Structure 1
Amino acid sequence: MIFAYNKEQVGDTLMVITADDHGSDQTAERRSNVTRIQTVDGTVVGWNFFHISNYLTVSGNGAVELTDEQVDQLNRLIKEAGFSDVLAYDHEPKFVVGYVKTCEKHPDSDHLSITETEVDGGQTLQIVCGAPNIKAGLKVVVAKPGSMMPDGMMIWPGVLRGVESYGMICSARELHLPNAPTKKGILELPADAVVGEAFTIGK
């Protein structure tokens, strides 16, 4: 689940993205200051909470983090608007230190590689990566499915040249880190970086 806020560009609206819409058509139903967004098959993929500053103090620009108490308040707003849905609590870090366990060339690409990358909780994700410096044994930054990059791009499971990919291995530029190199390639972390630790990204 992604919480996003950009008062300057969007206005005083908190956007909550709960699922990938896979590019399908959507319908929106607004009640009071709450709008529920669904695909045509009825899957809820997001919410808009208008005039959110009347109810919550939201700081940040782009992807933001909310406390459990703030999620409780959003659920109260949903209920008061007459919807029966409930937002779940999500405490998983979206950007973590990963370890590239294996790296093999993509069978249908001259620049893509297929990795098995360990993230938090001992979980291993298959991630397709196009960076020239990707290789087994690296410590890297992984954007897991359900994350939002600093430029607003959302990361969901996908298929690249016929191979499933669950996340993205990031470069310093994509993370908006200061003094990021212009040379193409993923960010290589020190060998003593702890796999599974949350990684703080730029805005």
Structure 2
Amino acid sequence: MNIFYNREGVGDTLMIQMSSQDAEVRGVEKKGDMARIFDAESEKTLGYNLFNASKYLNIESENGAVAVNSGFVDHFNKLLKDKGFTDTLTYDDRPSFIIGHVLEKGKHPNADKLSICKVDIGDETLQIVCGAPNVEQGQKVVVARVGAVMPSGMLIKEAELRGVPSFGMICSAKELDLPNAPEKKGILVLDNNQPVGGNFFALTENH
């Protein structure tokens, strides 16, 4: 789930993306200031737009990304119910930039410069296709989960790279906008004592 709000750029509209799936034909169901966007073929909900959002919610955003907590999600779910929609949002308190442990590294069948990695992030193992030349089994790394917004503004989505599904990104220091990041291509490799599942930026701020 991704939530965006940019009043200057878009207007007073809160946009919630519930699925990274692309639909060939999208439908819209509008009830008052709330609009549900869905896949017209499968009827699956893709997201919601809340117009005149500042009337309903106190919204804090940075670079368009909204700071979300359980109270925000509870309030929005009440709005959904009040408007007559049946969906509910689920609060995920895991960090967007999470410390992972590379359990496996394998060759990509269709690309010599890509690797298929299995990365433990604490409560699940993600398959991530990685193009970094220095990624290796056993490393502690920073994973941008699906839904994370990079410092550049890029949204991390589920992807398929040369025919292989990928669920997140193993990050470089430059991609994380860290000071003195090297120009040389390669992921950021962390000290081995970093806790799997930890919030990378929170741990960085505490050191």
TM-score tier after normalising by the smaller chain length: 0.7 to 0.9
- SS of equivalent to 1:38: strand
Partner of 2:205: none
1:126 is matched with 127
TM-score (norm 2): 0.85
Preserved CA contact (<8 Å) 1:96 1:120: no
Q: Hey, what's the Cα distance between the residues in 1 that align with 2:73 and 2:20?
A: 20
User: 1:168 aligned to 2:178?
Assistant: no
How far, CA to CA, are the matches of 2:126 and 2:70 in structure 1? Answer: 28
Letter of the 2:185 counterpart: K
Distance 1:33 1:176 in 2: 37
Structure 1 residue runs without a partner (length 5+) = none
Taking the TM superposition and a 5 Å limit, the aligned residue runs for 1:73-152 are: 73-121=75-123, 123-152=124-153
Aligned residues: 200
Cα deviation for residue 134 of structure 1 reads 1.2
Cα deviation, residue 99, structure 1: 1.1
Give the RMSD, CA atoms, in angstroms. 2.1
Deviation at 1:33, TM superposition (A): 1.6
Q: By how many angstroms is 1:39 displaced?
A: 0.9
Query: Which residue type is aligned with residue 99 of structure 2?
Result: V
Q: What letter is aligned with 1:71?
A: V
**Deviation above 4 Å: which 4+ runs of structure 1?**
none
Q: State yes or no: 1:48 paired with 2:49.
A: yes
2:4 corresponds to which residue?
Answer: 4
Taking the aligned partners of 1:53 and 1:198, their CA distance within structure 2 comes to: 30
In the superposition, relative to structure 1, how do residues 39 and 153 fare at CA in structure 2: closer, same or farther (>3 Å)? farther
Q: Is the 8 A contact 2:12 2:52 kept in 1?
A: yes
Q: 2:198 matched to 1:197?
A: yes
Consecutive unaligned residues in structure 2, runs of 5 or more: 203-207
SS at match of 1:7: coil
**Cα distance change, pair 162–29 in 1 and its aligned pair in 2 (3 A):** same
* Equivalent position amino acid for 1:106 in 2: H
Partner of 1:25: 25
- Tell me how far 1:23 sits from its aligned partner: 4.5
